[in-house]
Structure 1
């Protein structure tokens, strides 16, 4: 018998079927639109399942803010605090106790967990939330979990949850697992196309659209922009146009401190309206109370690996149809809403159907090193929804060979195990190891922190200036990043040899 909840959610209609399926089978796929309640209701509904016993549920989220917010919301549903029955584990903080039975973790953290304990001791189920985002860590995590399930833990339940994926395709990957669909509940959303002037800055046009939307409609606004720079410029333009003290303008992107992010997703105080300027971080997982207006620029920023320079940079591209549909739906979660789009209606049909999976365009050196640690030389031996491209794999093998991480047969070396233990891209891990030999391990670790945590030290092209600003920054995020960098340097320095394994892992 599933537990009852005070507040009904659309997902409730399929919880009984989901429970029955997971009682009989070890895998399932749940397709539910944003706002159905799958993130915060499904883990709680499974807490009393007989097959769970005294073991835990692990739920993966693509972003730290989503992991924290969903854990906090589930804890409130139980009348508890995060860290009691429901906790979370992210890179710069965790709230976990002996009483925790649901752990919400970021996808990179899970990869470290299963690599360190392939049997997933004490874990009964792994839930992959928002799988449609198709990050590299999510694809790898699912492949490893499926391999562990088939070879070590037939009783391990795997549930893939998503809003927009082809459920049948994922189901085949999981051995023809059942697909459960929730229709969700959405209020009508009126769509208004504003077009876009090619000769005017995007941020200025977004500010004008937001100001106009506020004049024409009640409620709070969620505006989608590609990245932090565009958000800051739009915020400046808005400040010139909006002088109403009852309207609060807040940014929301991944590089902000947790307290600032929390402020953005909290309901506006009574009598106030809120304008949240967000990246794609707000497309799914997060519910921002009071939003009934969406303003969408139609652009997104995604990672693209450049093999010539060996670095991954962010590229601004047109958002997919699936993404803009999800953005539009944010306006109709609690009441009828309106969505303003900064393009012409016919252009919608030309948008790519889905966001490209990261595995098709990413640097695969970390993935290949993880697979070698897992004991797999050929990624084709595992269940990937989209196989890693052969040219990218060839390049990754060559790089790992040059770094001394793989031998000629593709097996991980002791050096490779040591580099992997730092939980950094192999090039950066090698940089710290080699810099330590030259007496510069601390500086190399600080540089690695800046390169892996976007926004730390500002955005100057002068690395020295960014390092200096990073060292002076006293925000909680910067403080945590410095502590992390110190751990990396200490791990290398305290090892009997800089190229020996056994260092403790730091979650990605």
Structure 2
């Protein structure tokens, strides 16, 4: 074993950690090359597993390689490396270092490197064999992040070629068996190393708020005030009993962290409680302060955090947890072509992990700001991001790996077909994949840039317009997920240049991206720089003002945040637009989170592939109206009326019929009757009588309505077209010659009159045809007539001389033998001029009165 590995003193590192008892089992499992570690948060797996793996590698001899530990978040990666370095009395980077986007603390002597998932994914694309890496430890796989799921598939695939590569997956929940099956060698599950929970007694209190937790704007401000009040009261009571108690408050996002922290500081008053914020956007110094624990003489602390502290980080000293029960999860809106983080109820597994943070050091308490029924209704586990996210970047990575659409790859969750299809559509527009989803040379070029595929396109193409430096500055801000409450990207960049908390990181990333924009030409534009770069990345989100909202080229409407300085802009290039409801979105269902000004010339430049100049026609009030339209996607730039003709007019008729149905045409009584007759024959006799339902007629438009569609396209009015003859085109020959025999329009009754038969509507063909006839015209008639070759009897509505119904029957013989006598008794006094014979069987059927007879 190397001298460096000897410095990884497992006894010292694992002192007091529950996972120390599981080290022998892990060392034994590593002999198989793969292992799954299942251990609750706070047991020390993140601290102890990497050095155990590093020592196992070192025992193999020289050249075994470095251990790469994957942490889902930058904060956790830095904290894990810093803690391990402190436990080994080494400086950060010497034995244990870290690499996150734009930052690296790593020396050649390092045995362990902590990285974020994106870092390792790009290394795999650059070097599929991971030269110099001897082991990979995937931490927090239970969080089901998209990039971590992809790493599970890619690293398992890599191990088929590199059996020497150690692979360890670590989970804080009980889904370890599923990962063991995935990463196990030769179809056998990987060994699972368990670690019992180190929980002390945990008291649970329920403190739901008076109103809902969320509203149209997101998390309710009233609910956040409730969370702050509950946290302040619970912490004050806990400190009164034990001054060493610190509190950890869980809310879903950075904005909510700020809101609750501000209120807590106001509620704390003069008691000296320190309120700290912990999320991905606070600076390294503030992060270190929050996760570093309370120093001697420090006041009691309340740390307000996102789910970052749920399992990735341990905040020392916590004996009280206050949980809002909410989380942020990615959601893709296929209809609007956008995705983003939405606030949802967290899973029960997350709620339990949060609560467990209070009982690691001793008896603790969790206060849940919701009720027991809400807890019972929570989903068991977090929703895998691969099932709900935009898969554009994931699909590019899979294509670069040689497994388009993930085919043949052992992923924890199969990517949804529709999301993959949409992702490939975007990648084809970027020139990154071909029609089969196979990566192109341009796709590999985009994948080498450490941002998403769209932003990589924005960097490369934007550099040609505004120069590499300015393009890199814009892309660096977007890639770091920085936001402005007003949605103004230009204003955000001004802040980054003058002293924003993220300025240092942004400058480093800008310089790095600028160096990657090789071969870019000189700047051609000095104005609207940000809009041009953003538009190159998201051409479908170029937008034009329409009233109080903006219409995007992709067809979606969205609104700016209230009070945004961009509200007067005619054109915008939108960098981030997410789903929203209520006032924040002006009823559009989408809110613009970040955008930059643009003008029409710039819009047409960056979205040139969306420009069209065409004749558009539509059927309006029975006539085809046509316009010559110049448009940028869904945004009409100019519109001029023109004469309707050609393919556009034909398409307009067909589209109107398919969208609005056959009701856009005028159905005469004759056409409607013919359709009803044909429907009855089709129902009762089947082929060759045609199906005349809406669906069937729309499927055969050209076959029966072709000449009439031509006439409408030439300008004829729909009201002038009689559909009787078109329907007859559907009649088969020679069966058509029997139409009047099988479904006659009129029926000869006993009096000699020919009475109209009313057939049931075409959409109710199982009903009976009917005739309305004066009762006296049917005297002596016993057999009920039928249609459809005897299959369907006709129902008679027998009428009084005033044409009012006296009886309804499809059995005339039974009527004459029974009910007729009661009808006769009631009617002969009312209508004495009409015959009401005692014996209807022998009476002569007539339409006349007694005198006329």
**1:266 counterpart residue number:** 292
- Contact residue 380 and residue 387 of structure 1 kept, 8 A: no
RMSD (Å), alpha carbons: 2.1
**1:197 counterpart residue number:** 210
Distance 2:124 2:362 in 1: 41
Distance 1:244 1:91 in 2: 40
Uncovered stretches (5+) of structure 2, i.e. residues with no partner: 2-7, 213-220, 240-244, 523-853
Ranked by relative contact order (alpha carbons within 8 Å, sequence separation 6 or more), the top structure is: 1
In structure 2, relative to structure 1, the CA distance for the partners of 1:345 and 1:409 (3 Å cut) is closer
**2:34 counterpart residue number:** 27
- Contact residue 52 and residue 124 of structure 1 kept, 8 A: no
Distance 2:128 2:376 in 1: 44
Distance 2:492 2:339 in 1: 19
**2:60 counterpart residue number:** 51
Aligned residue for 1:198, secondary structure, equals coil
- Contact residue 467 and residue 520 of structure 2 kept, 8 A: no
**1:506 counterpart residue number:** none
Distance 1:130 1:439 in 2: 41
**1:18 counterpart residue number:** 26
Offset of 1:17 from its aligned partner?
1.3
**1:478 counterpart residue number:** 503
**2:135 counterpart residue number:** 125
Give CA-to-partner distance per residue, 1:66-98, whole Å, 9 cap, x none: 111111111111121211111111113221111
**2:638 counterpart residue number:** none
1:206 paired residue among 207, 227, 235? 227
**1:502 counterpart residue number:** none
Q: How does 1:308-319 map to 2 (within 5 A)?
A: 308=335, 310-319=337-346
- Contact residue 32 and residue 184 of structure 1 kept, 8 A: yes
Distance 2:511 2:151 in 1: 28
**Aligned pair 1:157/2:143, yes or no?**
no
Aligned residue for 1:295, secondary structure, equals strand
1:61 paired residue among 71, 86, 91? 71
Distance 2:479 2:320 in 1: 34
- Contact residue 459 and residue 466 of structure 1 kept, 8 A: no
Give CA-to-partner distance per residue, 1:314-367, whole Å, 9 cap, x none: 211111100010000000111111110001112211001111111111111111
**1:8 counterpart residue number:** 16
**2:107 counterpart residue number:** 97
**2:487 counterpart residue number:** 461
Distance 1:163 1:440 in 2: 47
In structure 2, relative to structure 1, the CA distance for the partners of 1:481 and 1:309 (3 Å cut) is farther
Q: How does 1:402-481 map to 2 (within 5 A)?
A: 402-439=429-466, 441-456=468-483, 458-475=484-501, 477-481=502-506
Which stretch shifts more, 81-90 or 236-245?
236-245
**2:178 counterpart residue number:** 169
Aligned residue for 1:30, secondary structure, equals strand
Aligned residue for 1:46, secondary structure, equals helix
Which stretch shifts more, 107-116 or 485-494?
485-494
**2:600 counterpart residue number:** none
Aligned residue for 2:18, secondary structure, equals coil
Q: Which one has a bigger Cα radius of gyration?
A: 2
TM-score (norm 2): 0.56
**1:215 counterpart residue number:** 236
Distance 1:307 1:470 in 2: 33
In structure 2, relative to structure 1, the CA distance for the partners of 1:8 and 1:264 (3 Å cut) is closer
**1:500 counterpart residue number:** none
Give CA-to-partner distance per residue, 1:159-209, whole Å, 9 cap, x none: 111111411111111231111211131111101001121167122101110
- Contact residue 460 and residue 466 of structure 1 kept, 8 A: no
**1:38 counterpart residue number:** 45
**1:365 counterpart residue number:** 392
**1:501 counterpart residue number:** none
Q: How does 1:225-264 map to 2 (within 5 A)?
A: 225-264=251-290
- Contact residue 114 and residue 120 of structure 1 kept, 8 A: yes
Distance 1:100 1:311 in 2: 41
Which stretch shifts more, 431-440 or 110-119?
431-440
Offset of 1:428 from its aligned partner?
1.6
Distance 1:246 1:405 in 2: 56
Uncovered stretches (5+) of structure 1, i.e. residues with no partner: 498-508
Which stretch shifts more, 439-448 or 77-86?
439-448
**Aligned pair 1:494/2:519, yes or no?**
yes
Offset of 1:481 from its aligned partner?
1.5
**2:332 counterpart residue number:** 305
| Number of equivalences | 494
**1:341 counterpart residue number:** 368
**1:72 counterpart residue number:** 82
**2:196 counterpart residue number:** 183
- Contact residue 11 and residue 184 of structure 1 kept, 8 A: no
In structure 2, relative to structure 1, the CA distance for the partners of 1:47 and 1:416 (3 Å cut) is closer
Aligned residue for 1:243, secondary structure, equals helix
In structure 2, relative to structure 1, the CA distance for the partners of 1:108 and 1:165 (3 Å cut) is farther
Which stretch shifts more, 308-317 or 350-359?
308-317
Give CA-to-partner distance per residue, 1:22-46, whole Å, 9 cap, x none: 11x1211110111111000111123
Offset of 1:410 from its aligned partner?
2.1
In structure 2, relative to structure 1, the CA distance for the partners of 1:488 and 1:309 (3 Å cut) is farther
- Contact residue 3 and residue 48 of structure 1 kept, 8 A: no
- Contact residue 300 and residue 317 of structure 1 kept, 8 A: yes
In structure 2, relative to structure 1, the CA distance for the partners of 1:310 and 1:430 (3 Å cut) is farther
Offset of 1:216 from its aligned partner?
1.2
Aligned residue for 1:202, secondary structure, equals helix
**2:317 counterpart residue number:** 290
